[in-house]
């Protein structure tokens, strides 16, 4: 009973400080505008300085997405000004040699799609539709999956693509063309049938025969191994299937999102911030956390809470609030004005020894998205 009481208390604490968090978040992002300039950030390491990745890198939409959310919520023109050019810059990369792939949803939903939704800009609409066509063109009909990456990985699919499906559902509604939804549903069905395990843990990468569609094997990817439980993969599946349910109202996807959510919540440590892989070791005490997984999962849990009737949705909301309170209190850079990121404690790709205990721009994005949802933001892009 004491643990349940503490969880209620934690949720109440976040509600009490939420306006203050929202204000300090704006102060932080205002400073980031001057610090980042035209950079396309992905990782900030111990020095707190974000890198500058090429524009066709999968994370290029998250920083402008934060700006568009803040503009949508506040109406402050400097957010709109800082965000405006990003979909234009992304489109220019399409006219050159590039490495765009399954993650164009991550890139064009928080740039072109939201820009069109807020401002009605016709060029943003055109760019978003182009990206949706590009994504639909990656569909493998034999295996019923969206192909991941390029080069020789013709039969690979990844759970991350659950989050890119919103671009296809948006295009289906915007163009009144059901083909986009058909592709999105077929990939979502593969996620439910192949990626999400009965206990709610997920596979990261599945390899299929690209000609026959036959499943070959599960690959560990950014998780600890083929049978592990990579926490950010769980957050992609949780949030992604919640999104698919929002578009389709098909309870098959709701039940899948709930199954992952229950596993994720059950595996959280006392401070509610997930370890990078829930099965990385017999004892996780020395394993790094992944604040980006926590932030993305929190946003997905808030989606579930918003779509379910009061008492049914409340446990998901409370779990999200516990995660966000811990991120705010223990992983925020509020007292470090020179630090260019919002959250520390992210884990990118531990098996490869890359980006462990760092700041990740997608962790920052989903933290902003989650706090905005708690502040009443109703527009949905993912």
Interval 188-243: pLDDT, tens: 999 999 999 999 999 999 999 999 999 999 999 999 999 999 999 999 999 999 99
In the structure, what pLDDT confidence band is assigned to residue 13 with cuts at 50, 70 and 90?
A: confident
Spatial contact of 364 and 342, defined as CB atoms under 8 Å apart: yes
DSSP-derived secondary structure letter, 110: I
Could you tell me the CA-to-CA distances from 257 to 57, 181, 290 in Å, in that order? 28, 19, 20
For the chain, give the percent of residues with pLDDT over 90. Answer: 95
| pLDDT for the residue numbered 2 | 40
219 burial (CB, 10 Å; 0-12 / 13-18 / 19+) is middle
Structure confidence by residue, pLDDT tens digits, 236-289: 999 999 999 999 999 999 999 999 999 999 999 999 999 999 999 999 999 999
With b meaning 16 or more CB within 10 Å and e meaning fewer, what string describes 241-269?
bbbbbbbbeeeebbebbbbbbbbbbebbe
| pLDDT for the residue numbered 316 | 98
Q: What is the mean pLDDT of the chain?
A: 96
Q: Is 209 helix (H, G, I), strand (E, B) or coil?
A: coil
Structure confidence by residue, pLDDT tens digits, 31-57: 999 999 999 999 999 999 999 999 999
Q: What is the pTM of this model?
A: 0.96
Whether pLDDT at 12 is above 70: no
Average pLDDT for 299-323: 97
């Amino acid at each position: 009973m004491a643990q349940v009481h503490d969880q209620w208390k934690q949720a109440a604490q976040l509600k009490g400080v939420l306006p203050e968090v929202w204000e300090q978040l704006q102060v932080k992002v205002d400073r980031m505008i001057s610090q980042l300039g035209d950079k396309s950030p992905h990782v900030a390491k111990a020095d707190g300085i974000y890198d500058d990745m090429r524009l066709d890198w999968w994370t290029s939409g998250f920083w402008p997405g934060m700006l568009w959310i803040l503009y949508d919520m506040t109406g402050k023109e400097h957010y709109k000004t800082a965000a405006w050019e990003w979909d234009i810059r992304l489109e220019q990369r399409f006219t050159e040699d590039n490495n765009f792939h399954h993650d164009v949803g991550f890139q064009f939903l928080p740039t072109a799609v939201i820009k069109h939704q807020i401002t009605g800009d016709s060029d943003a609409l055109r760019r978003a539709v182009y990206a949706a066509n590009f994504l639909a063109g990656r569909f493998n009909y034999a295996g019923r999956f969206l192909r991941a990456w390029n080069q020789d990985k013709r039969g690979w699919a990844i759970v991350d693509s659950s989050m890119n499906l919103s671009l296809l559902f948006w295009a289906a509604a915007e163009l009144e063309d059901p083909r986009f939804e058909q592709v999105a549903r077929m990939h979502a069905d593969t996620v439910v049938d192949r990626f999400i395990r009965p206990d709610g843990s997920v596979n990261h990468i599945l390899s299929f025969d690209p000609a026959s569609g036959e499943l070959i094997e599960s690959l560990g990817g950014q998780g600890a191994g083929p049978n592990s439980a990579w926490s950010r993969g769980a957050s992609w599946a949780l949030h992604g299937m919640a999104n698919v349910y929002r578009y389709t109202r098909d309870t098959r996807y709701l039940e899948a999102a709930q199954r992952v959510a229950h596993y994720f919540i059950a595996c959280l440590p006392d401070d509610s911030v997930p370890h990078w892989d829930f099965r990385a070791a017999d004892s996780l005490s020395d394993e790094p956390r992944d604040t980006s997984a926590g932030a993305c999962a929190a946003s997905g849990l808030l989606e579930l809470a918003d779509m379910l009737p009061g008492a049914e949705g409340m446990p998901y909301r409370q779990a999200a609030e516990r995660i966000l309170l811990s991120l705010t209190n223990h992983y925020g850079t509020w007292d470090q004005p020179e630090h260019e990121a919002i959250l520390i404690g992210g884990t990118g790709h531990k098996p490869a020894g890359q980006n462990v205990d760092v700041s990740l721009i997608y962790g920052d994005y989903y933290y902003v998205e989650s706090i905005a949802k708690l502040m009443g933001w109703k527009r949905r892009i993912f």
